[in-house]
């Protein structure tokens, strides 16, 4: 029970302000007339106590699916690292809402890195997973593509793709974007004390 208001009144207010909001009523009122009132007031589903938590979760997932709401965290076709996002279905990339034009292989390479954030991937792993083993590992193919990606995604900010010498590459969320005219290094100007 709600203090001062009934659930059906709250639901009517919600429906007035946001008619497309998915609503599941979870209530102790289990009489047929109460269920009819709740559904007529705009509830999409109605569950009475006692209830199974598993059932409520499944009903909520169904509501969200019917409403067209996708949870980006459970959607494996959307990756996000910092303000950088990739959408596999449309093969779109964006940084802080700004679209980034990528070639097919650049997208594949960035997808691989973003699928394993903070994990170091060796040149051999990248060659195998992005280009297959048919390419000569002695060339600088990976380095060239990493360089192109850095130019495209790291404009105005510290680099997200990092090189770990003799180990490979990793991607980590970048710090905030640099403002125009701001110094590119934050190191203080310190002089070493004289050696005596």
CATH code for position 92: 1.10.10.10
Please state, rounded to an integer, the average pLDDT across all residues of the chain: 80
CATH number at residue 26: 3.40.50.2300
Q: Is the pLDDT score of 193 beyond 70? A: no
Dihedral angle sign, alpha carbons of residues 135, 141, 143, 149: negative
The confidence band for 95, taking pLDDT boundaries of 50, 70 and 90, is confident
Which pairing describes strands 45-48 and 24-27: parallel, antiparallel, or unpaired?
parallel
Which pairing describes strands 84-87 and 98-100: parallel, antiparallel, or unpaired?
unpaired
> Using an 8 Å Cβ cutoff, are 129 and 183 in contact?
no
- Regarding whether 165 and 117 lie in a shared domain, the answer is yes
Quote the number of domains for the chain: 2
Residue at 60 is within a domain: yes
Q: Is the pLDDT score of 117 beyond 60? A: yes
Q: Which of 63-67, 72-76, 167-171 has the highest mean pLDDT?
A: 167-171
State the Cα–Cα distance between residues 151 and 17, nearest whole angstrom.
45
Instruction: Please give the average per-residue pLDDT across 126-146, as a whole number.
Output: 81
Residue at 125 is within a domain: yes
- Regarding whether 60 and 115 lie in a shared domain, the answer is no
- Regarding whether 45 and 103 lie in a shared domain, the answer is no
- Regarding whether 87 and 36 lie in a shared domain, the answer is no
- Regarding whether 137 and 104 lie in a shared domain, the answer is yes
Residue at 43 is within a domain: yes
- Regarding whether 109 and 24 lie in a shared domain, the answer is no
Instruction: Please give the average per-residue pLDDT across 172-183, as a whole number.
Output: 53
173 or 122, which is more confident: 122
Give the domain-ending residue among 17, 46, 67.
67
User: How much is the pLDDT for 19?
Assistant: 81
State the Cα–Cα distance between residues 19 and 64, nearest whole angstrom.
15
Q: Where are the alpha helices (DSSP H) in the chain?
A: 7-17, 32-41, 53-67, 104-115, 123-126, 141-153
Residue at 164 is within a domain: yes
- N- to C-terminal Cα distance for the chain? 80
- Regarding whether 52 and 134 lie in a shared domain, the answer is no
Dihedral angle sign, alpha carbons of residues 91, 94, 98, 102: negative
Kindly state the helix (H) or strand (E) to which residue 161 belongs, with its residue range. strand 161-164
Residue at 17 is within a domain: yes
Query: What's 129's DSSP letter?
Result: I
Q: Which of 25-29, 96-100, 108-112 has the highest mean pLDDT?
A: 108-112
CA angle 38, 42, 45 (to 5 degrees): 65
Residue at 195 is within a domain: no
- Regarding whether 94 and 41 lie in a shared domain, the answer is no
- Regarding whether 138 and 82 lie in a shared domain, the answer is yes
- Regarding whether 101 and 153 lie in a shared domain, the answer is yes
The confidence band for 122, taking pLDDT boundaries of 50, 70 and 90, is very high
Residue at 36 is within a domain: yes
Which positions ≥6 away from 22 have C-beta within 8 Å?
44, 63, 64, 66, 67, 69
- Regarding whether 23 and 93 lie in a shared domain, the answer is no
Nearest to 93 by CA among 116, 110, 71: 110
For 54, the domain range is 7-67
- Regarding whether 62 and 27 lie in a shared domain, the answer is yes
Give the domain-ending residue among 39, 67, 95.
67
> Using an 8 Å Cβ cutoff, are 185 and 133 in contact?
no
**pTM, entire model:** 0.53
Nearest to 178 by CA among 151, 158, 149, 148: 158
């Amino acid at each position: 029970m709600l203090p001062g208001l009934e659930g059906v009144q709250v639901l009517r207010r919600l429906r007035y302000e946001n008619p497309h909001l998915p609503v599941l009523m979870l209530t102790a009122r289990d009489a047929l007339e109460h269920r009819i009132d709740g559904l007529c007031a705009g509830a999409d589903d109605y569950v009475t106590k006692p209830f199974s938590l598993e059932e409520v979760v499944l009903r909520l997932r169904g509501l969200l699916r019917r409403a067209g709401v996708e949870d980006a965290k459970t959607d494996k076709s959307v990756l996000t690292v910092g303000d950088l996002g990739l959408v596999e279905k449309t093969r779109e990339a964006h940084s802080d809402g700004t679209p980034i034009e990528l070639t097919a292989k650049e997208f594949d390479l960035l997808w691989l890195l973003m699928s394993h954030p903070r994990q170091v991937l060796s040149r051999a792993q990248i060659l195998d997973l992005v280009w297959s083993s048919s390419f000569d590992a002695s060339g600088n193919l990976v380095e060239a593509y990493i360089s192109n990606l850095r130019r495209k995604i790291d404009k105005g900010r510290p680099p997200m793709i990092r090189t770990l010498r003799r180990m490979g590459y990793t991607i980590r969320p970048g710090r905030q974007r640099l403002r125009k005219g701001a110094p590119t290094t934050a190191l203080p100007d310190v002089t070493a004390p004289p050696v005596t």
